[in-house]
Structure 1
């Protein structure tokens, strides 16, 4: 018995992702619809939307997909080298758009400023990334560096690495940040302990640690605002 597969061409025009995006804008589309537009075509047995839904399910959503490399993408059924490259290029462009803010004069006046700069870079990562923003005497960001990439549950960073980088950039102060892959930005005891060590080391070398931002999925917590440092 043959089974029929609904392809994009079989849908009414107003229900196809491209037409919906033209009419309503990209923000109105689901993750799967946006991925389907990037994929452009499906296979003989699956539409582009069906493949996109399967990719999201297999990777655990956008958070997991953002960490996939080219080879991992190619291993997904229905994704060849060309489609893998298209997806990876789109994800890299998104990251670069966020990172391009550093080419401007970004001034950190509040925890929100730091969080806005880093949240989109960190929120979808499946491992903890410990990142520092290096500031001049006017709190303008002069550099950003990822100093540690940890396991799913823990990121270990030593004050030595942090302040070696701070001295390299001639920083007056720093803002630290890391993500929680769980999506919950609640600081852990380890987060509080490393923050205390960083603040103490900063006092010795004369480089202030202004804040430590913990990034979750669309949320953040400032240890400074919470009175935890």
Structure 2
């Protein structure tokens, strides 16, 4: 037996790390999920046996616990794990991207954000990530800082946009003083965001500055002209 030979059970994992999950065959994916083989079969052989017993994924999807356990090397635990994996995959397939309302106007959005942010004693930078229909698919507070200080970097904002496949972004931050008048730093930060967005093909729809009972939209102010 060759020394230091990589075990068959780890090969699919290594291939996934090197080439990505889409490069793996059904047998390799199943071997990763099964994790271990049996006394008679290694994990690759066992996954091959499962796929031979159920030649199509459709048949595997509809296999009962009893049918799975008829396969040599698949006991109750592995049968349960396989059914759980199949059901989870089915639920993932049926799932939709969560949405948190649709942005119609900056005014309507700002009224919601005033209620949410007006009493914060520190600056909060909140980003809303939208799809092409202006539906909010993700929102995240990316920075909480001391009063009148903001050091958030555009890369943090766009990293989240890429992660959730956003087409557009609206940024908002509060002024704890209650006065929403944009500072020069606010304008410079917005300018950087717009430039980054143009390079990445992700539109910055607006930057809202939230005060005690008022707001300023840098887009409405003409900053986008």
> Is the contact made by 1:107 and 1:113 (CA closer than 8 Å) also made in structure 2?
no
Instruction: Mark the CA change 1:135 to 1:104 in structure 2 (over 3 Å): closer, same or farther.
Output: closer
The CA RMSD over aligned residues, in Å, is 1.3
* Stretches of structure 1 lacking an aligned partner (at least 5 in a row): 1-102
- What is the distance in 2 between the residues matched to 1:212 and 1:200? 14
Q: Spell out structure 1 runs of 4+ moving beyond 6 A.
A: none
TM-score, structure 2 length as denominator?
Answer: 0.54
* Stretches of structure 2 lacking an aligned partner (at least 5 in a row): 1-97
Match of 2:192 among 182, 188, 197: 197
> Is the contact made by 2:180 and 2:215 (CA closer than 8 Å) also made in structure 1?
yes
> Is the contact made by 2:122 and 2:176 (CA closer than 8 Å) also made in structure 1?
yes
**Greater Rg over alpha carbons, structure:** 2
TM superposition shift of 1:104:
6.3
SS at match of 1:202: helix
TM superposition shift of 1:128:
0.4
- What is the distance in 1 between the residues matched to 2:123 and 2:203? 23
TM superposition shift of 1:156:
1.4
TM-score, structure 1 length as denominator?
Answer: 0.54
SS at match of 2:219: coil
Matched, 1:172 2:167: yes
Deviations 1:130-184 (A, max 9, x none): 0101000100011110011111111111110000011111100000000000000
TM superposition shift of 1:113:
2.5
